[in-house]
Amino acid sequence: MRELANVNGAICALEDAVIPAEDRGCLFGDGVYEVVRAYQGRLWGFRRHWKRFQRSLREIDLQPANLEEIRGWIEETYRSSQIPNATVYFHLTRGASPRSHAWSDPLNPSFFMSVRPFADRAIVAGVKVQSVPDLRWRRCDIKSLNLLPNVLAKQQARKLGAYEALLVDNQGNVTEGSSSAALAILDRTIVAPPQAPSILPSITREYVEEIAVALELAFQQRWLSLAEFRSAGEAFLAGTSDEVTGITHVDGQAVGSGEVGPWTREIQKAYRERIEQRRD
Ligand code: PLP
């Protein structure tokens, strides 16, 4: 088991990975990324992550010539790490060049990837979330490297003793977490925001939508105000890292009973079962 990196096709120990200081990812956040989990030696949901990655690349007008080769690097680097339960991070940036906002062709995109063991966060007991204004740009559907507002929001939440920030837009509606989707359950209906440019199309949320059918829960897309979200019977976070995590409190106020709700537990269980059965 080794923590590994891959820089433009070359595999190395993670601590030895080096990228150029003038990489546009570093100077401008000019790139897109994905985070994938591996369970028991297998990349989970990789096909879906790859599709979203390709979409993000198209949306920022970054089209590397060797996309299939990059896919091979990801698979090979993960295999080489021999880490059964891992977090696999990868990004592609517009490459290194003297600092200038506009870029000039030809591009030389730059790939970086890391593989680390995933440390279970032991959050089965549920988490508290803290509402924070959503200060992000208008294309949060692109999984871009520009995460400063997400980072600041999460930090603010942590300072206030919460696990995650619950982002609230100018209309007073809940968009998502700083690194997770945020969903509520009202009367046997899972309520998620519409798939708008203001939120990331979450892959875990996709699984939840599929699980809802099996559990005979309705799945509805509509905006919820912070007050509606707070007064839902149940609420939970969904994300690659957080999987399905119950929300017990919003801004210090209990959601439902103040414990992880029974439907949330069912969804958690069903999600885990899908992973074990490799049904991605
Ligand atoms: N929303 C944001 C802002 C995220 O950063 C993430 C995960 O990184 C998610 C939602 C959840 O997406 P996924 O389920 O694809 O991990």
Which atom of ligand 1 is found nearest the CA of 239?
A: 14
- Please say which residue of 59, 83, 117 terminates a domain: 117
Model pLDDT, residue 105: 80
Q: Are residues 106 and 143 in the same domain?
A: no
**265 and 134 within one domain:** yes
> Model confidence over 119-130: pLDDT tens digits?
766 567 899 999
CATH number at residue 9: 3.30.470.10
Q: Which of 117, 137, 154 is the last residue before a domain boundary? A: 117
- Please state the atom number of ligand 1 nearest to the C-alpha of residue 140: 3
| 156-215 confidence digits (pLDDT tens) | 999 999 999 999 999 999 999 999 999 999 999 999 999 999 999 999 999 999 999 999
Q: Whose CA is nearest to atom 3 of ligand 1?
A: 179
Query: Is the domain of 133 the same as that of 213?
Result: yes
For residue 125, the model assigns a pLDDT of 83
Domain annotation covers residue 169:
yes
On whether residue 122 sits in a domain, the answer given is no
Give the range of the structural domain holding residue 110, as residue numbers without chain letter. Answer: 4-117
Q: For 160-172, how does the pLDDT look when each residue is reduced to its tens digit (9 = 90+)?
A: 999 999 999 999 9
Number of residues that make up the chain? 280
- Ligand 1 centroid–CA 134 distance in Å is 15
Angle of CA points 90, 92, 95, to nearest 5°: 140
- Tell whether ligand 1 has an atom less than 6 A from the beta carbon of residue 180: yes
CATH of the domain at 257: 3.20.10.10
Nearest protein Cα to ligand 1, atom 9: 180
Give the pLDDT of residue 59: 98
Q: Which residues are catalytic?
A: 143
Could you tell me if 147 and 269 lie in one domain? yes
The reported pLDDT for the residue numbered 119 is 78
In a domain, 164, yes or no: yes
For residues 204 and 263, membership in a common domain is answered with yes
For the chain, the straight-line distance linking the first and the last C-alpha, in angstroms and rounded, comes to 25
Q: Return the pLDDT at 121.
A: 64
Task: Flag whether 29 is in a domain.
Answer: yes
Q: For ligand 1, is residue 198 a contact (CB within 6 Å)?
A: no
Q: Are residues 170 and 254 in the same domain?
A: yes
Contact 157 CB / ligand 1 (< 6 Å) = no
Domain C-terminal end among 91, 117, 143:
117
pLDDT of amino acid 74: 98
Does a structural domain hold residue 32?
Answer: yes
CA dihedral 112, 113, 114, 118 (to 10 degrees): 140
Same domain flag for 272 and 155: yes
In a domain, 197, yes or no: yes
pLDDT single digits (tens) 15-34: 999 999 999 999 999 999 99
pLDDT tens for 75-134 read: 999 999 999 999 999 999 999 999 999 998 878 999 999 999 997 665 678 999 999 999
Checking if the pLDDT of 149 tops 90, the result is: yes
- Note whether 27 and 135 are same-domain residues: no
**95 and 217: one domain?**
no
Give the Å distance between the CA of 102 and the centre of ligand 1: 28
Gap between the Cα atoms of 226 and 217, Å rounded: 22
Let me know if residue 202 belongs to a domain.
yes
Q: State the total domains in the chain.
A: 2
For residues 210 and 134, membership in a common domain is answered with: yes
Are 147 and 240 within one domain?
yes
- Decide: 43 in ligand 1 pocket, CB within 6 A: no
Same domain (yes/no): 135, 242: yes
pLDDT at 122: 55
Q: What is the 3-state secondary structure (H, E, C) of the chain?
A: CCCEEEECCEEEEHHHCCCCCCEHHHHHCCEEEEEEEEECCEECCHHHHHHHHHHHHHHCCCCCCCHHHHHHHHHHHHHHHCCCCEEEEEEEECCECCCCCCCCCCCCCEEEEEEEECCCCCCCCCEEEEEEECCCCCCCCCCECCCHHHHHHHHHHHHCCCCEEEEECCCCEEEEECCCEEEEEECCEEEECCCCCCCCCCHHHHHHHHHHHHHCCEEEECCCEHHHHHCCCEEEEEECCCEEEEEEEECCEECCCCCCCHHHHHHHHHHHHHHHCCCC
* CA–CA distance, 107 with 64 (Å, rounded to integer): 8
Say if residues 189 and 219 touch (Cβ distance below 8 Å): yes
